[in-house]
Structure 1
Amino acid sequence: MYIATNKETCDKIREVLAAQADKPQNIRVFIAGMACSGPSFGLGLDNINDEDVTEIVEGVNFVLEKSVFDSVGEIKVEWVGNGYSVQPVNVQPSACGSCSSCG
């Protein structure tokens, strides 16, 4: 697995982990939903399962289901000032317009 991230992002995640010391200390990257432009991703605290792949970056243990990694590949996690941006590295969202909910 490969997580593209930076020190600032990992610093912010470590702050969350420190405040949630009673919770699992792994950051799960997961598919939070699907839209016409592809999957949207989220982050959460979670345990490691047998079906997972992991990578430690700057002391942060990222976890992702192997099947998700196999379908989307590398993931970029970045602190963007008011939250985290989580996106596949090599997949650009397609232009919408194929569904009625996009206007």
Structure 2
Amino acid sequence: MNNTLVNMIDISDAGYQEFFDLLEANEIEPKIVRLALAGFGCSGPRFGLMVDDPTDSDVVEIVKDITFIVAKDLYDEYQGFVILSDEENYGGGMSLRPKKIDEAAGCSTCATGCAV
């Protein structure tokens, strides 16, 4: 049986509507999305979304009509996620960020450095 967590996902009404509209525009049915680690960059981990089904090793949160799933170990490491609308992200597009950020990650960890 899948574990259900409350507040795995922090999302405003505006963020929810923008995300829901994105799923609708891409004809995603049912609206079940997995949050997954997509790699690392100078600013830390990057996350992506994919259509998938939950497994026994996932945690699940249903926000209105969207079901979010994430691997339990990823949830444990980042303690959940925040989804920001374009407006909340100051016009930088929708954003998916972890709740817990490793302060050691950043430009100083890159061998080549970051453009400023």
Compute the TM-score of the two structures, normalised by the length of structure 2: 0.72
Identity of aligned residues (%): 29
Measure, in 2, the Cα distance between the counterparts of 1:43 and 1:22: 12
My pick for the range that moved more, 32-41 or 6-15, is 32-41
One-letter amino acid matched to 1:100: A
Q: 2:99 aligns with which of 78, 89, 92?
A: 89
My pick for the range that moved more, 82-91 or 65-74, is 82-91
Is there any run of 5+ residues in structure 2 with no aligned partner, and where? none
* Partner residue in 1 for 2:81: 75
* Partner residue in 1 for 2:21: 15
Measure, in 2, the Cα distance between the counterparts of 1:66 and 1:37: 23
Q: 1:44 aligns with which of 40, 50, 54?
A: 50
Q: RMSD of the TM alignment (CA)?
A: 2.3
Is there any run of 5+ residues in structure 1 with no aligned partner, and where? none
Measure, in 1, the Cα distance between the counterparts of 2:13 and 2:77: 27
What stretches of structure 1 move > 3 A for 4+ residues in a row?
19-24, 92-95
If each structure's strand is expressed as a fraction of its own residues, which one has the higher value? 1
Does the alignment pair 1:100 with 2:106?
no
Measure, in 1, the Cα distance between the counterparts of 2:64 and 2:28: 21
